[in-house]
Amino acid sequence: MNYLNRKILLFLILLCVISAFSFAHLEQPEFKLSAGGGMYFFGEFGGGYYLLTKYQDEHFEKPANFGIGACGFFDLHFIELNLGFFKTYGKWDNYYNDGYQVDKYYIYGLGLDIGIFLKFPFVLNDRFSSFPLLGVNYRALFTLIPEEEFLVSKDSSNHNTVWFKFGGGLDYSFRNNKYLRTELFYGFRLHNKWEKDQVESNRIDSDSRIGYIYCGHGPDIKLAIGFIF
């Protein structure tokens, strides 16, 4: 784990501790187990890499991805388990030397999200409750279909990675043991294998250590219906 990722992890742990102390005095809802499902949306910005090639050319790779999917969750009061299946769409840009764009291409993919989050629920009134969230999510791609096959790794697993996310949620309770749940996250991810391989191969080819990976980050929004057991 590099220095930037350590800072991100430390920030999220600190945020969790502060949240726990901040909300500890608030009224908690009755302990109940529940589960449900719905839809979610996500965006990914940042990521990609910078290289200085053996010809002293600067090369930037800047992706931007968006996704939509179906999700399910299991709520253990203080812990939420998430599972999602998604379709993603991305536009990746290639730049050389002072921002001159030479390529723009698109990718499509299918994947899976698996996450576990800590939560601290508290009551707002007889219908609404809220909770901060902090956790980790593993995002895996089953398929990746680039517009031009030579531009990205054909092995979709090379783009799998771990996300650290924080955010919050709001529940609206109906009278019949059902509730509407909305959640909003923001997260930062670890570098994936494809990014690492690009930087490493350039270092070997050009005998240069000038190359680094940008931090990937982005939001998630979830809307679901829950059922109390």
Distance CA 53, CA 162 (A): 29
- Other Cβ atoms less than 10 A from the Cβ of 97: the count is 11
Distance CA 156, CA 228 (A): 37
Sole residue written with tokens 């059902």: 178
Does the CA dihedral 52-147-149-215 come out positive or negative?
positive
The 10s digit of each residue's pLDDT in 132-181 is 999 999 999 988 777 665 455 567 888 899 999 999 999 999 978 999 99
Predicted TM-score (pTM) of the model is 0.82
The 10s digit of each residue's pLDDT in 33-62 is 999 999 999 999 888 887 776 665 666 677
| Domains delineated in the chain | 3-228 (2.40.160)
The two three-digit tokens of residue 58, written as one number: 């600067």
The two three-digit tokens of residue 55, written as one number: 């010809």
Distance CA 157, CA 155 (A): 5
